[in-house]
Every structure is written in C-alpha cells, then in structure tokens.
Amino acid sequence: MSEQTQEKSTDESANGSPKPTSPNADLKLDFASFWEYSEAPESSDHVEITERYDHFINGDFVKPAKGRYMKSVNPATEEVFTEFAEGTSEDVDSAVRAARRAYEKKWSRLSGKERGKYLFRLARMIQERSRELAITESMDGGKPIRESRDVDVPLAAAHFFYYAGWADKLNYAFPGRTPEPVGVCGQIIPWNFPLLMLAWKIAPALATGNTVVLKPAETTPVTALKFAEICLDAGLPDGVVNIITGAGLTGAEIVNHPDVDKIAFTGSTEVGKIIQRSLAGSEKKYTLELGGKGPNIVFEDAPIDQAVEGIVNAIFFNQGHVCCAGSRLLVQEGVAGRLITKLKERMETLIVGNPLDKNTDIGAINSKSQYDRINNYLEIGVNEGAEIYQSSNTIPEKGFFCRPTLFTGVSQSNRIVQEEIFGPVLTIQTFRTPDEAVEKANNTPYGLASGIWTDKGSKIFKIGRQVRSGVIWSNTFNKFDPTSPFGGYKESGIGSEGGLHGLHPYVKLK
Amino acid sequence: MSDRIEVLKTYKTYVGGKFPRSESDRTYKITDPKGKQIANACRCTRKDVRDAVVAARSAFNEWSNRSAYNRGQILYRIAEMLEDRKDQFVKELEKSGTKSKEAMKQVEASIDRIIYFAGWTDKLSQVFGTVNPVASPHFNFSSPDATGVAGIIAPDEAPLLSAVSLIAPVLSGGNTCILLASEKNPLPLVSFGEVIHASDVPGGVVNILTGHHSEMVDHLSAHMDVNAVFNTTAEKETRKLIDENASISVKRVTHYPETDWFNEKHENPYLILEFMETKTTWHPVGN
C-alpha cells in the first residue's frame, strides 16, 4: 500500500535528542498505485429542476415585477443550471409588506409552542428531501456531494430542530428580561453554504417570532427556492418566509427598505462594511458575519498526522470557500520541514473533480468570478516572492477547478497573508515561540476562527485565550453544530449566530 | 494675619496613567450656570485622541488577562477611593451649580454603581457562558471575552454619575476605554481620573479627555484601533457620523441616549455584554 521514503527524519526535540517516532512515521501515503480509480457519481435523474424560478412572496411563487431573470451556472460544467428572478425594489417592497402583514396578523400572535411545531415540521421535511437538496446544492454551487450530503443538509435540518425547541422556552434564555420579537428581518446570505446559511438565518428568526425576507446569493439560489416549496408543504402561514432572488442591488433594496427592523448579513467584509455604512443613522438592528483569515497554529508537540488531516480539512473543505477557513498555517520551526512534506504528500491524494462524484474531495470553484479572483491571488503571491506549490492532480478540462495550493516563504505583510482569498490556497509561516505564534495569529484585521494543535492541554487554554477570534478549534477544525455559537471579532463581524447566543440578535429585551 | 489665598487646581487630562495637558496647549472656560468662570479645562483634539487610543490599546492585554476576581477587587477599590473623597466631588459638583443635596445623591449613586459592576466581573461568564451539547464527540464551551478598546461619549447630565455608569460596565468585562467627558462640566471627571489612578487600575485602562466633542468624536469613532463606541449623544447628525465611521473597521456601536442616570435600569449585565465577544472553544473527546 505504501513505500518507505528514503529520507530519514532529521527532526530533533528541544533538548537535541531524536524524537521518538513510530516505525510507520515516514510511510508515504499512496492510494493511487494500489487502487484503480473508479468514478462513483451520484445520480441526479430524480431531482427536478425547473427551467425558471420565481420569487416566493406571501406563500406564492411570483414573477418579478420588471420581468427580468438571471442565470445560475453549474460551475463544474459551465452550463446554465436554471434561471431565476432578478429582484427589484417593487419585489422587495411586496415581500416586506407580506412579511409585515404576516408578523402582525399571524406569526407574532401565535404561541411559542405552535411556532415551534412549524419549525419541527420544516426540520423534518428538510431531512425527507435531503438527497434532493444535497444534489441540488452540489450542482448549483460546485461543492462535493460528500459535503453537501454529510454536512450542509443535515446541519441545516439540525438548526431548525434546535431552534424549534427554543420557541416556547425563550423566557429561560435571558435572565431577568423578557424577550420580544424584533419584527421583519431582512437576511442576505452567501454562496458557500447556501441552504445551511439559510437555516442559520431563518430558524432563530422564526423561533423568536419574527418574519423574514431572505435573499440567497446570485450563484446559488436554487436550494432556497426548494426550501420555499418546503414552507408551502409544511403549511407555514403565508408571508412568514419570503425569498427574493437577485444580486447585490437586490440586497441593497432589502437593507435600505424602511420597514425592515433588522438586517442579518453573511458575506465578505467588504460588503459588510458597505451595509454597516448604509445602516448609519437608522434604528435597524444588525448582525454581520464577515470574512476571515484564520490562523492554524501547529506546535512541535502536536500529533503531526492528525494535524495534517486538520490542516487539509481547515483549508480544502468546500474548496476553501469558508469564512472561517484555516488559511494561514503557523507551524513551529522544529516540525515545519516534516509537516510540510507530509502535507504535500497528503495533498497529492486529494481528488479534484466532479462535485457529484462521491470520491471527490475538492469540487468546483463556485463561479467564474471567484475562479478569476483566486487565480489573481495566485499571481499576486508569486509576484510577492512567495514560493508556490500545487498538487499534481489532474483536473477536469471544463468547469472552474483549482488545485490545492500552498505558499511558503511568505511574510506577515504579504497580501496573500493579510487578505481573504476564499479558495484552496494556504500560506505557511513558521514561528519559534508561543508568543510569536500569537503575535502572528492576531496580526490581521480579522478574528473569526483559529486552530491550535498541541498535545499539551494547558497550552491550548493559554494560547486559546490569547488568540482573538470567535471560534477556537483545538486539535480539530471546521466543526459546526447548531448548539455552538459562531461569530467574529474585529472585522470578522458583529454578533453571534447559533446556540443560545444566536437568539439574542432576534429579540428586543424588555 | 492675612487671609490665605486659595490654591486653585489646574485641570488636566488623564492618559496612560499620567496627567498630561492637551497636546494642543489650548483650554476652554468652564463656567457655573451664572456664567462665572470656575476653571479652564483642556481642549483636547485629534492628537490627544490618538495618544489616548495608543494608551488604551497597550493596556488592553494586561487588563483583560487579569483574573475576574482581581478586576472586581480593583473596581471595588475605585468605589472605596470615591467614598473617601465624597466631599471633594460634592464640592466640585456644587461649584458648577448642582444643588448640594443633589450633588451628594449623585456621588453616592456613582459609588454604588461601581460596586454593582464590580460584583459582575466574576459572574458574567457563569451566567452568560455556556457548555454546548454538540452532536459530535467534542467538548465545546462559550464564554464572554472583552471586545477591546471602547470610546465613550459621555453626556452633560449628571456628569459624574453618567460617566461612571458608562465606564463601569466597559471595564468590568476587561475592556479599556477613552472617555470624552461631559463638555459642559468635565471637572469632576478629571478628578475621577485621580481616583482611578489611586485605585490600582493599570495606567491606560481608563483615559479621560476633556474638550469640545465636535473636535474629538469624529477622530475617536474613525480610529482604526478602537473596537467599540458607547455613545450617549441623541443628536442625529453625530449619531450618523459615528455609525458611518464605525463601518470603516466594523466597530460595535451602542447608542445609549439616556437622560435619567439615577434610574436603576442602568445596573444590568446586558450593558456589559454590549462590549463582549463570544469565544467558543472546541476539543475532541476521545482517546
């Protein structure tokens, strides 16, 4: 299954004696010569995708007022997947009116217990249609079916299930206060986890008694519209959930609509700042989940093989289209050589290709524009003097695919170290002391998520306290759960989503 | 024997644990309600704001890493020191026209308010932290963590009590701050800086500037190294300016246009949470 590498490890521990290693420590991963690769594509025959999708307003699918449609492209084939309505101010206005009516006439008058039962229904129906939703997600957005099937869709259902239970227990969530709903929530979500982000937004909003107008991203609108069908099937009262599709201009209409009480946005820091600015002087509440440039810190005493798996999961999960990705590897000098060698070997085994293939590790880059953006950063990295390494995997000729990429020889001030690339691109820096690791980890405008790898528990707590980010993954990475709060420090956002903390943005405390 | 000539106090600022004058070398007149001058106060501007932010940032790590117990004791110490100098503050408030009964009430309420927040330091993460029952084999917990450097814009009403009510929640969570004292009557706040200084509060944790707010708010709210703004100005234009400036670096903004500072509603932990992030830590559970 594997062959021994010729080179003997030269790593030494701090006191100069050779590190104890297992007899298999230097075995090289090699799957390809043992197994013949055979495709295992998921069948998509049973998934119904209509040629054209309309807005979902007040319990009905409604044609856009201006009659304009946009195209969603399957990034793995570059073929048009479907068409969807382009929302204008008229569409947004009728959605907000519907949401307001539903809020006043129906949803805010319903008891928490009954609201919760609707949410349980939604959770169950997402589970029932999970295969269809997973395939749709992979075709519309390019993510590997293994991830949409095992992560996105089950977690989306779990979010509804979790918040359903809160609906009649809100009085226990805020000691000394009585929570009241905010009203109509405008929610704008990104393209990296379309259905999951919808669940993060809609589940807590409905549980706390609000109604919503949600806009999915323009490259991945389809699962949101399938969720609209689920709302109909679940008998959710008209207007409680409204879905308006479109691009940034449509989002701006939602943000600026005078009858929206709260804005929840997940997306880039750049757009987040524009939204925060356009809300200046208004009474609207808002939460922002923005970008990141997560440090993944590996100490010499870390379990190296686990760390390598963690690094791969941190940066190559979902093609690196993850705001909390561990995109900056900080590795302690003594193990840097061995770790990078192992990482490169592991990267060789990653399969880049058809998102619907169950073997695929890295699917398609979500869109042409993101593909161009990543390639631009690869050029920037090279021009900044960094050394680039890409795996030698074959990638499909058609579609937007990017090989997993490493940059070594980078410095803290490099753009590829400071700016969010949002692709399968990892920068690697080394450090000597824990203080230096913390200094480098904190030295970006972001603060969303960080990784710490060490076998020493006390070190996890010390470093974990000093690193300024909303999530600390120790000896693991990219784990999510509806009970676990998620949110950024500094320019990574304002407010938390998920868990008990995720109720707060959707209530007024009396 | 001749009558003794009273020694008048020069009111300076409080930055980084020192009492510098304004970099601008300018002052403005502080008067009583009849228009009679009581003192000159420093007219701080952009450079002073920047110095104060540097001081607050340098003090942040130390202050936020102090144990909650220690922060509680230090806040309690501030209250002790203030109790000790009650008369000084009553006199200072009287000079600017506050009736003596009212002044005493204000000083006492200020002391009590600090004690209220001193007690929260080591309870906040117990009441608002969580252990999260994630479905995967991981141990997962969340606790509140200080946001960083906060800019506080204090009102003219009850100048001592209002400023104390704003500083105490910010400090108790482990943040450091820059206070723009009441423009009309900043004198008790300058003296409050002396109380802070005598209370084991590390230099730079609290920084107090005086001057025209119109010359400082813009710089304070736009500063890239300020993480949060606690604003009491109700005036629309200023509010909008603060919001717009905040968006430059995604600052947290809490607008708090209150007027009745004696109200007990100002004593609540949710004010502390306005200046706290939530940090969630995961670790696998296994062999």
Q: What is the pLDDT of residues A304-337, one digit of tens each?
A: 999 999 999 999 999 999 999 999 999 999 999 9
Pairing outcome for strands A405-408 and A184-188: unpaired
Six-digit token pair at A35?
A: 């197994």
- What distance in Å separates the CA atoms of residue B106 and residue B110, rounded to the nearest whole number? 6
Tell me the chain A residues in contact with residue B127 when contact means C-beta distances shorter than 8 Å: 175
In a domain, B40, yes or no: yes
- Tell me the nearest-neighbour CA distance from A69 into chain B, angstroms: 32
**SS3 readout for A428-489:** EEEECCHHHHHHHHHCCCCCCEEEEECCCHHHHHHHHHHCCCCEEEECCCCCCCCCCCECCC
Q: Is the pLDDT of residue A13 over 60?
A: no
In a domain, B22, yes or no: no
Which pLDDT belongs to residue A393?
A: 85
Tell me the chain B residues in contact with residue A487 when contact means C-beta distances shorter than 8 Å: 277-278
Q: Please compute, for residue A492, the number of CA atoms within 13 A of its CA located in the half-sphere on the CB side.
A: 31
- Tell me the nearest-neighbour CA distance from B183 into chain A, angstroms: 23
Mean pLDDT over the full length of chain A: 94
Q: What is the pLDDT of residues A187-233, one digit of tens each?
A: 999 999 999 999 999 999 999 999 999 999 999 999 999 999 999 99
Q: What is the pLDDT of residues B129-153, one digit of tens each?
A: 999 999 999 999 999 999 999 999 9
Which pLDDT belongs to residue A37?
A: 79
Best residue of A501, A503, A510 to probe chain B, by most B CBs closer than 10 Å: A501
Number of domains present in the structure of chain B? 1
In a domain, B258, yes or no: yes
Tell me the chain B residues in contact with residue A280 when contact means C-beta distances shorter than 8 Å: 240, 243-244, 246-247
pLDDT class for A36, splitting at 50, 70, 90? confident
In a domain, B90, yes or no: yes
Which pLDDT belongs to residue A10?
A: 47
Q: Is A397 a catalytic residue?
A: no
Q: Which domain holds residue B163?
A: 27-284
Average pLDDT over residues A397-413: 96
Q: How many CB atoms lie within 10 A of CB A10?
A: 9
Listing DSSP states for A71-132 in one string gives EEEETTTTEEEEEEE---HHHHHHHHHHHHHIIIIIGGGS-HHHHHHHHHHHHHHHHHTHHH
Q: What are phi and psi of B29, to 5 degrees?
A: -85, 135
- What distance in Å separates the CA atoms of residue A142 and residue A31, rounded to the nearest whole number? 25
Nearest Cα to A316, choosing from A362, A260, A262?
A362
- Tell me the nearest-neighbour CA distance from B245 into chain A, angstroms: 8
Biggest alpha carbon–alpha carbon distance for chain A? 75
Cβ–Cβ below 8 Å for A269 and B252:
no
Nearest Cα to B92, choosing from B20, B194, B14, B167?
B194
Cβ–Cβ below 8 Å for A487 and B268:
no
- What distance in Å separates the CA atoms of residue A122 and residue A118, rounded to the nearest whole number? 6
Of A176, A290, A476, the CB nearest to B250: A290
- What distance in Å separates the CA atoms of residue A502 and residue A210, rounded to the nearest whole number? 14
Tell me the chain A residues in contact with residue B248 when contact means C-beta distances shorter than 8 Å: 273
Tell me the chain B residues in contact with residue A288 when contact means C-beta distances shorter than 8 Å: 250
Average pLDDT over residues A425-448: 98
- Tell me the nearest-neighbour CA distance from B237 into chain A, angstroms: 8
Cβ–Cβ below 8 Å for A472 and B280:
yes
Instruction: Assign B109 to helix, strand or coil.
Output: helix
Of A269, A273, A472, the CB nearest to B279: A472
Residue of A nearest to B224 (CA): A445
Which pLDDT belongs to residue A21?
A: 61
Tell me the chain A residues in contact with residue B268 when contact means C-beta distances shorter than 8 Å: 176
Q: Please compute, for residue A158, the number of CA atoms within 13 A of its CA located in the half-sphere on the CB side.
A: 18
Average pLDDT over residues A93-122: 97
* Under-50 pLDDT residues of chain B: none
Is B137 part of the contact surface with chain A (CB cutoff 8 Å)? no
Catalytic residue among A86, A147, A253, A289: A289
Instruction: Assign A9 to helix, strand or coil.
Output: coil
Residue A459 bridge partners (DSSP) = none
In a domain, B10, yes or no: no
8 Å CB contact between B172 and B118: yes
- Tell me the nearest-neighbour CA distance from B231 into chain A, angstroms: 13
Which pLDDT belongs to residue A6?
A: 41
Cβ–Cβ below 8 Å for A281 and B236:
yes
Best residue of A454, A484, A497 to probe chain B, by most B CBs closer than 10 Å: A484
Which pLDDT belongs to residue A24?
A: 67
Cβ–Cβ below 8 Å for A474 and B281:
yes
Cβ–Cβ below 8 Å for A479 and B134:
yes
Tell me the chain B residues in contact with residue A470 when contact means C-beta distances shorter than 8 Å: 277-280
- Can you say how many angstroms the Cα of residue B263 is from the centroid of all Cα atoms in its chain? 18
Is B127 part of the contact surface with chain A (CB cutoff 8 Å)? yes
Q: Is the pLDDT of residue A109 over 70?
A: yes
Task: State the CATH number of the domain containing residue B169.
Answer: 3.40.605.10
Domains and CATH numbers, chain A: 52-290+489-509 (3.40.605.10), 295-474 (3.40.309.10)
Q: What is the pLDDT of residues A473-496, one digit of tens each?
A: 999 999 999 999 999 999 999 999
Which pLDDT belongs to residue A28?
A: 74
pLDDT class for A3, splitting at 50, 70, 90? very low
- What distance in Å separates the CA atoms of residue A222 and residue A139, rounded to the nearest whole number? 10
pLDDT class for A5, splitting at 50, 70, 90? very low
Which pLDDT belongs to residue A9?
A: 44
8 Å CB contact between B177 and B207: yes
Cβ–Cβ below 8 Å for A476 and B240:
no
8 Å CB contact between A453 and A303: yes
Which pLDDT belongs to residue B2?
A: 73
Cβ–Cβ below 8 Å for A485 and B278:
yes
Q: Is A402 a catalytic residue?
A: no
8 Å CB contact between B189 and B159: yes
In a domain, B1, yes or no: no
DSSP state of A150: I
- Can you say how many angstroms the Cα of residue A470 is from the centroid of all Cα atoms in its chain? 15
In a domain, B52, yes or no: yes
- Can you say how many angstroms the Cα of residue B152 is from the centroid of all Cα atoms in its chain? 6
Q: What is the pLDDT of residues A56-65, one digit of tens each?
A: 999 999 999 9
Which pLDDT belongs to residue A22?
A: 64
Cα dihedral across residues B165, B169, B174, B180: positive or negative: negative
In a domain, B20, yes or no: no
Average pLDDT over residues A156-185: 97
- Which residues 6+ apart lie within 8 Å of B209 measured at CB? B13, B15, B42, B44, B48, B49, B52, B178, B179, B180, B181, B216
DSSP state of B135: S
- Tell me the nearest-neighbour CA distance from B254 into chain A, angstroms: 11
Cβ–Cβ below 8 Å for A281 and B240:
yes
Cβ–Cβ below 8 Å for B250 and A490:
yes
Tell me the chain B residues in contact with residue A443 when contact means C-beta distances shorter than 8 Å: none
